[in-house]
Amino acid sequence: MDLPKNLYTASIVCHYFPDLSPTQIALFDRLGAIYADWNATINLISRKDIDHLYLHHVLHSLAIAKVITFTAHTRILDFGTGGGFPGIPLAIALPEVDFHLVDATLKKIQAVEAIADTLGLKNIRVSWARGERIKGVYDFIVGRGVTNLNLFYSWVKDKIALKSKNSLPNGILYLKGAPFETLPLSMDLYPIKRYFTEPFFREKYLVHAYGM
């Protein structure tokens, strides 16, 4: 079935997540116009890519929610959130989960905070900071295209809570393509094409690294 993937429809999200509430569907529907507005002022995502917002950014972020169902009040640090990915789509899909979105670029984090406020997302807080300087521990650290995995691991290895409460052990959940660096951790790879059939996802994976 060919689905519309342009900027102003959340149909592709609803197709893969049929249990979304009317409120969640309405929030996803609003993302296109909100991001188009912000992207005209500040490059939250590539201007060449804005027409593929839902496929390349929203749905890609939501692959994490296909791999794991988080328990309520799981603490997630979105390290280097950039334009709010994967944190904002996940926060809409998972309203009982607590997200901390962090980025070192002030203009981007101001935009992300404004987007979260516009959507009324109460399960998000944002910080303008280098992620490695953030204090505290989290159940999971998520990232997407921040840097190579070894460097990412060196920045977050002291921020993972020891006690797990989800179906997967606490650790890193990182969206990337091949190749995969070797880490001094256990690593599981989840091909995203297992969950989403579009060609865009054929070479994309979710890496779960754990055992800090």
What is the reported pLDDT for 161?
96
Is pLDDT of 182 > 90? no
Q: How many angstroms separate the CA atoms of 74 and 68, rounded?
A: 12
CA distances from 82 to 16, 20, 43, 45, 56 (A): 25, 25, 10, 8, 14
Mean pLDDT along residues 42-48: 88
Question: Is the model's pLDDT at 3 over the cut of 80?
Answer: no
In a domain, 86, yes or no: yes
The pairing of strands 140-144 and 75-79 is: parallel
| 3-class DSSP assignment, residue 133 | helix
Alpha helices by DSSP H, listed for 120-177, are 149-156
- pLDDT level of residue 8 (50, 70, 90 thresholds): very low
- Note whether residue 47 is domain-resident: no
Task: Give the chain's domain count.
Answer: 1
**What is residue 96's predicted lDDT score, i.e. its pLDDT?**
97
132-179: per-residue pLDDT in tens?
889 999 999 999 988 889 899 999 999 999 999 999 999 999 999 887
Answer yes or no: is 71 within a domain.
yes
Q: Is 150 left (phi over 0), alpha (psi -120 to 50) or beta?
A: alpha
In a domain? residue 84: yes
Q: Per residue in 83-129, pLDDT tens?
A: 999 999 999 999 999 999 999 999 999 999 999 999 999 999 999 99
Q: Using one digit for the tens of pLDDT, what is the confidence trace for 13-39?
A: 999 999 999 999 999 999 999 999 999
Which stretches of the chain are assigned E, i.e. beta strand?
75-79, 98-103, 124-128, 140-144, 171-177, 186-191, 204-210
Predicted confidence (pLDDT) per residue in 48-83, tens digit: 888 899 999 999 999 999 999 999 999 999 999 999
The whole-number average pLDDT for the span 4-17 is 75
How high is the pLDDT of residue 113?
A: 97
pLDDT of residue 212: 77
Q: Is residue 163 part of a domain?
A: yes
Is 156 a domain residue? yes
Global pTM reads 0.93
| Residue 129, in any domain of the structure | yes
For residue 193, which phi and psi values (nearest 5 degrees)? -65, -15
CATH label of the domain that carries residue 189: 3.40.50.150
Residue 7 pLDDT exceeds 60: no
| Residue 105 CB burial class (10 angstroms; 0-12, 13-18, ≥19) | middle
| Residue numbers of the domain that contains 185 | 61-210
34 is a domain residue = no
